[in-house]
Amino acid sequence: MGIYTIRRDGHEEPEDVGVVIEGIKVLNNVGSVIMGFIMLFGLIYALDLAFPQNLKYTFEFFQKIIMNLDGHKLNAKIQQLKIRRKHCVHTFSDSQHGCFSC
């Protein structure tokens, strides 16, 4: 499960961005990597798939902290990230130099 990009030599922008699930290209030409991530996330929900084990906490962070879905049920690792994120946002907004403690 993942997002792929195809680039031509010398071009910054990808020629194609898409989503692969279980080795099968299920979406192509989604436009950008972030749109690919959004589409992958939607497919995970629509198809009732489990998050990839090696990216479990990354997907949970986006689901519960960034997207604020089911955010009241946080495991310890995600809770720590949420606390750090709040500290960084607070520090960044109060400082001219940004958050360097994160």
Q: Say whether pLDDT at 92 is over 50.
A: no
Determine the Cα–Cα distance for residues 72 and 27; give it in Å rounded to an integer: 32
Q: Ranked by mean pLDDT, which of 64-68, 85-89, 91-95, 98-102 comes out on top? A: 64-68
Give the pLDDT score at 32.
93
Mean pLDDT of 43-61: 85
Confidence of residue 3 (pLDDT cuts 50, 70, 90): very high
Separation CA 76–CA 65 (nearest Å): 13
Does 19 have pLDDT greater than 60? yes
8 A C-beta contact, residue 20 and residue 1: yes
Residue range 69-87: mean pLDDT, rounded: 70
Mean pLDDT of 36-48: 90
| Nearest-angstrom CA–CA distance, 77 and 74 | 8
